Amino acid sequence: MSKSRYAPLVKLKKKSLDTAERALISANNILSSATDKLSQAYEELSHMGLPTHGAIGEFTQAAAMIHAQHLTIEECQNALQSAQQRQYQMRERFKAAMMEFEKFKYLEVQEMKLHLKNLKAQEAKMLDEIGTMSYKREVL
* Confidence (pLDDT) at 79: 96
Question: Please, are residues 6 and 111 in contact by the beta-carbon 8 Å criterion?
Answer: yes
Span 44-63, pLDDT tens digits? 988 888 777 778 888 899 88
Residue 42 half-sphere exposure, CB side, CA atoms within 13 Å? 7
* Confidence (pLDDT) at 139: 64
Span 14-23, pLDDT tens digits? 999 999 999 9
Which of the following CATH numbers is that of domain 7-139: 1.10.287.1700, 3.30.70.60, 1.20.1250.20, 3.20.20.370? 1.10.287.1700
In the predicted model, residues of the chain with pLDDT beneath 70 are 1-2, 139-140
Q: What is the CA radius of gyration of the chain?
A: 34
Cα angle 116, 118, 122; round to 5: 115
* Confidence (pLDDT) at 88: 97
